[in-house]
Amino acid sequence: MTIPLRLDSRKAARSEPDLVQRPVAIAIDHVSKKYGDLDVLKDCSMTVRRAEVVVVCGPSGSGKSTLLKCVNGLEGFQAGAITVAGTSVGDRRTDLTKLRSQIGMVFQHFELYPHLTVLQNITLAPIRVLGRAKSEAIDKAMSLLRRVGLADKAGCYPGQLSGGQQQRAAIARALAMDPIAMLFDEPTSALDPETISEVLDVMTELARDGMTMMVVTHEMGFARHVADRVVFMDGGCILEEAPAEAFFAQPSTERARSFLSKILRQQ
Amino acid sequence: MIYHWDWSVPISAPYLGWLMSGLAWTLLVAGAAWVIAFVLGAAIGILRTLPHRGARMIGAVYVTVFRSVPLLLQLFLWYFVVPELLPASVAHWIKRDLPLPEYWTSVIGLGLFTAARIAEQFRAGIQAVGRGQSMAAAASGLTLLQSYRYVLLPVAARYVLPPLTSEFLNVVKNSSLALTIGLLELTGQSRQIEGVTFHGIEAFTAATLIYVALTLTAIAAMRAIERVVAIPGLMARV
């Protein structure tokens, strides 16, 4: 089986031992979550180190999006602990609002605010949450829009943009908060095949600039060439956590092997 | 029996004046009831969407109570029953000193009833904005208050405009029930003209035309608002 090499590898520049010594940005420690009697997450543990890119993959319903949403407290969990940059997410005393303002999130369906222009979408939280001056927020938003190739769309409403443009704007919106980490929840799943690459290019660029990223995706090309490590989930469990090369070369569980062979055959 | 048509009745003195007085009361009742219904309805509707279970419960109880009792009966309850249940001094004030008791009873009864309906429309509108939007707002660090203020409500308000138009027309039309507790609004005045002149057909036709003119004006105004606030790329311009 072959994987199309549409993304440049960014990993050549960096050696593995270097990575191990980096501080932990996101630590998920024995997290379990139930909806009534249904186990959504079972004893999940994983870490994302600073400037590391970790891809979480697995079949639909495996709990990967739920795990991601637990990281910034959009979903609660009953057992275990999650810490982001040393702050405990599940702790009642934690100021979740403040923590969330430090973690960027990108959604499958973009979730841009439809009644605001692209520029207003990006400046809303910096102005209202961080208390930045409007002019400063606008300057920053414009430079981010240039970075994602949307400088000419600042005055457009989300409904006037293509899916790929909306998702790039959503990435710019998250970056405007100067996040310590970025969470991606299937950022390309709602896009048509042609525009997927424009979003992946932006994400690859981000990874190269040293952003800490936890990415739920089915894009195995991105996982292989951009991710440092891959986490494989099924049935609410983390079955495998391995460096990307190792995961693709030799998955250690049969479940991951059959998942990979099915998903890679399509790509 | 031969009916003597006389279309001059509704436009001659003093009957034209009666109709105009009725129209004024209709507008006064509907307008004031609308203010109560809109403010309270929006608040209750928001309560019904909050994460806090107790808040949702309060909203649900309000809607259930005020939606389940016929409006006419609610007016009777406010007018005849509630004053009896209040402390003697308050009841005394309502019966003896409150100016225009029929008017204020109608306004409160109609306002509270309509608020329950508007609450449901606001709840539906906020829910239509979607969980994804509230997640996005929360994820960016906005507080609950801020996400309602800057994201959920501005979009929900646009979704709610068309059903609100219907609700506003309902308030105008339902205000005619105020005649049952003695307020001579438009319908009441047309009945009065009938009683005095026996030209009921002309009087009721005139009232009908005035109601239609009122509602058409309201519809045109709401349409204009919808057009102005339509979101480019999201909602087709009507």
- Range 49-78 of A in CB contact (< 8 A) with B: 69, 72, 74
Question: Is B153 a member of any domain?
Answer: yes
Number of domains in chain B: 1
The helix (H) or strand (E) run that includes residue A30 is strand A24-35
Interface membership of A131 toward B (CB under 8 Å):
no
Q: Where would I find the H helices in chain A?
A: 16-20, 64-71, 96-101, 118-128, 134-147, 163-175, 193-208, 220-226, 244-249, 254-266
Q: How far is A71 from chain B (nearest CA, A)?
A: 10
Kindly report the CATH number assigned to the domain that includes residue B50.
Answer: 1.10.3720.10
- By C-alpha distance, the chain B residue nearest A130 is B141
| Token digits of residue B123 | 């709840």
Interface membership of B238 toward A (CB under 8 Å):
no
Interchain contact, B139 vs A100, CB within 8 Å: yes
Question: Is B195 a member of any domain?
Answer: no
The string of pLDDT tens digits covering residues B167-202 is 999 999 999 999 999 999 999 999 999 999 999 999
Note the pLDDT of residue A12: 46
Question: Is B205 a member of any domain?
Answer: no
Interface membership of A105 toward B (CB under 8 Å):
yes
Note the pLDDT of residue A22: 85
Interface membership of A101 toward B (CB under 8 Å):
yes
Interchain contact, A102 vs B232, CB within 8 Å: no
Q: Which of A87, A116, A128, A130 to mutate to test the interface with B (most CBs of B within 10 A)?
A: A128
Q: Of the candidates B136, B154, B231, which has its C-beta nearest A157's C-beta?
A: B231
Q: Cα angle vertex B157, ends B152, B161, to 5°?
A: 155
Interchain contact, B139 vs A160, CB within 8 Å: no
Q: How far is A16 from chain B (nearest CA, A)?
A: 32
Q: Cα angle vertex A166, ends A56, B144, to 5°?
A: 75
Percentage of residues in chain B with pLDDT exceeding 90?
85
The string of pLDDT tens digits covering residues B81-120 is 998 899 988 888 887 888 888 999 999 999 999 999 999 9
Report DSSP state, residue B2. -
Note the pLDDT of residue B234: 77
Q: How many CB atoms lie within 10 A of CB B225?
A: 14
Distance between CA atoms of residues A115 and A160, nearest Å: 11
Residue B19 has pLDDT above 60, yes or no: yes
CB B170 within 8 A of CB B163: no
Note the pLDDT of residue B121: 97
Cα dihedral sign for B85, B86, B89, B90? negative
pLDDT band at B235 (very low <50, low <70, confident <90, very high): low
Note the pLDDT of residue A4: 43
Note the pLDDT of residue A11: 56
Percentage of residues in chain B with pLDDT exceeding 70?
98
Interchain contact, B140 vs A102, CB within 8 Å: no
User: Which amino acid would we find at residue A74?
Assistant: L
Interchain contact, B141 vs A129, CB within 8 Å: yes
Question: Is B47 a member of any domain?
Answer: yes
Query: Domain residues for B51?
Result: 24-186
Q: What is the β-pairing status of strands A229-234 and A53-57?
A: parallel
Question: Is B73 a member of any domain?
Answer: yes
pLDDT 10s digit of each residue in chain A, 267 long? Answer: 444 444 445 554 454 556 667 899 999 999 999 998 899 999 999 999 999 999 999 999 999 999 999 999 999 999 999 999 999 998 989 999 999 999 999 999 999 999 999 999 999 999 999 999 999 999 999 999 999 999 999 999 999 999 999 999 999 999 999 999 999 999 999 999 889 999 999 999 999 999 999 999 999 999 999 999 999 999 999 999 999 999 999 999 999 999 999 887 765
Distance between CA atoms of residues A40 and A66, nearest Å: 8
Residue B238 has pLDDT above 50, yes or no: no
Interface membership of A132 toward B (CB under 8 Å):
no
Cα dihedral sign for B91, B95, B98, B101? positive
Question: Is B50 a member of any domain?
Answer: yes
| Chain A residues with CB-CB distance to B233 below 8 A | 114, 156-161
| Chain A residues with CB-CB distance to B137 below 8 A | 113
Interface membership of B161 toward A (CB under 8 Å):
no
| Residues whose CB falls within 8 Å of the CB of residue B72, separated by 6 or more in sequence, listed in order | B177, B180
Q: What is the ipTM of this complex?
A: 0.90
Q: Of the candidates A100, A160, A177, which has its C-beta nearest B138's C-beta?
A: A100
Distance between CA atoms of residues B5 and B9, nearest Å: 9
What does the DSSP assignment read for B168-192? HHHHHHHGGGGGGGT---HHHHHHH
| Chain A residues with CB-CB distance to B237 below 8 A | none
Question: Is B45 a member of any domain?
Answer: yes
- Range 5-44 of B in CB contact (< 8 A) with A: none
* pTM for this entry: 0.89
Reported residue count of chain A is 267
A15-23 CB contacts, 8 Å cutoff, 24+ apart: A16/A243, A19/A49, A19/A52, A19/A228, A20/A49, A22/A49, A22/A50, A22/A51, A22/A52, A23/A49, A23/A50
Question: Is B143 a member of any domain?
Answer: yes
Interchain contact, B140 vs A115, CB within 8 Å: no
User: Which amino acid would we find at residue B84?
Assistant: E
Distance between CA atoms of residues A201 and A150, nearest Å: 14
Residue B71 has pLDDT above 70, yes or no: yes
Q: Of the candidates B139, B155, B158, which has its C-beta nearest A74's C-beta?
A: B139
- By C-alpha distance, the chain A residue nearest B236 is A159
Interface membership of B141 toward A (CB under 8 Å):
yes
Q: How far is B234 from chain A (nearest CA, A)?
A: 5
Q: How far is A97 from chain B (nearest CA, A)?
A: 5
Residue B219 has pLDDT above 50, yes or no: yes
